[in-house]
Structure 1
Amino acid sequence: MNPLLLDIPLRFETERLILRVPRQSVDSSIVNQAIKDSMNQLKTWLPFAQTTPTVEETEINLREAYIKFLKRDGFRYLIFNNSSKDFIGVVSFEDVNWDVPKCQIGYWINTKQSGNGYMLEAVKSVTEIGFNLMKFRRIEIRCESTNLKSRSIPEKLGFRLEGTLKDADLSADGSSLTDTCVYAKLYKDTL
């Protein structure tokens, strides 16, 4: 089936969360403020957080993510608290390969929301959607080997550590080589 014909939800809920695609002009200032609030933590791990983006740059990024969503090349969801409506973070399907079919899950959290299990809940939910609705057969989570908080999510969700790629990526600031852990879950293992 052509992935453009897949009915992929623009919004869905979990027990405590609302996950939805970005609404460009509505969400840019909220996401931008969360990046600003979380810069000290994000800049260690994420290349996009090396400099504080402007609201306009965040808007462009959200629009690009929406275009990828429509083209079925990537699927970014903003995460909100179901009761307070506070912005929590982002979870996305990246590096989508429909021939296999497989993808990677990426995520970041607003530091103010960290420690509540929200990202674990969001990643669990998108993993289920990835296998059951999008029909992915393999879902990976890759993260720097020293990022223990990020690594705890795939470990708690039953992803298998397939290996650590030595000197496989640049550090977020581009100053050194880092090791990358590759976690994966296969659809056949969920049956």
Structure 2
Amino acid sequence: MNPLLLDVPLQLETERLILRAPHQTGDGNIVNQAIRDSFSELKAWLPFAQEMPTVEETEINLRNAHINFLKRESFRFLIFDKNNHNFIGVSSLQRIDWVIPKCEIGYWINTKFSGIGYMTEAVKKLANLGLNDIKFRRIEIRCESANFKSRAIPEKLGFVFEGTLRNDDLSADGSTLTDTCFYSIVK
């Protein structure tokens, strides 16, 4: 089947969260504020957070993410608290290979919501969507070996630790070689 014909929902719900595709004008404001709130933590791990983006740059990034969603190249979701509508973070099905088919899950969280299980809940929902609805045969999560908070998520969700690739990538700031831990779940 051509991936463009897949019905992928623009919104998902869990017990505490709403995950929705970034398709609303103004999403750049709320995401940019979360980047600002969490900049020092994000900068340590994510190449996109090496410089503070403007609200306009964030809005453009999100509009491109929506285009990629429609083209079935990646599925980015903004995560909100169901009760108070606070913006929690972002999680995506990305690096999609439709031949296998497989993907990777990526994520980041607003620091003030870290440590209470929101991202684990969101990633669980996306893994379910990927395996059961989209019919991916493999979903990977890759984390820098020293990013223990990020590694805890696939470990809690029963992803299999496949190993560590030594000197696999550069640190977020590009200054040193880092090791990458690979986790996967298969169907």
TM-score (norm 2): 0.99
Conserved 8 A contact 1:163-1:181: yes
SS of match in other structure, 1:99: coil
Take 2:135 and 2:10, find their aligned partners in 1: how far apart are those partners?
A: 17
Match of 1:113 in 2: 113
Shift of 1:172: 0.1
Take 1:101 and 1:168, find their aligned partners in 2: how far apart are those partners?
A: 23
Conserved 8 A contact 2:26-2:59: no
Match of 2:137 in 1: 137
Task: Give the root-mean-square deviation of aligned CA atoms.
Answer: 0.6
Structure 2 counterparts to residues 144-183 of structure 1, below 5 A: 144-183=144-183
SS of match in other structure, 1:18: strand
Q: Specify the code of the residue in structure 2 equivalent to 1:107.
A: Y
Match of 1:82 in 2: 82
Q: Specify the code of the residue in structure 2 equivalent to 1:56.
A: E
SS of match in other structure, 1:25: coil
Shift of 1:116: 1.1
Shift of 1:25: 2.2
Conserved 8 A contact 1:22-1:66: yes
Match of 1:22 in 2: 22
1:146-171 Cα shifts (integer Å, max 9, x gaps): 00000000000000111100000010
- For structure 1, the 5+ residue unaligned runs are none
TM-score (norm 1): 0.97
Q: Specify the code of the residue in structure 1 equivalent to 2:118.
A: Y
Conserved 8 A contact 1:24-1:59: no
Identity of aligned residues (%): 67
Conserved 8 A contact 2:19-2:80: yes
Take 1:149 and 1:182, find their aligned partners in 2: how far apart are those partners?
A: 14
Shift of 1:24: 4.4
Take 1:94 and 1:116, find their aligned partners in 2: how far apart are those partners?
A: 24
- For structure 2, the 5+ residue unaligned runs are none
Shift of 1:26: 2.1
Conserved 8 A contact 1:24-1:62: no
Take 1:137 and 1:79, find their aligned partners in 2: how far apart are those partners?
A: 25
Q: Does 2:51 match 1:54? A: no
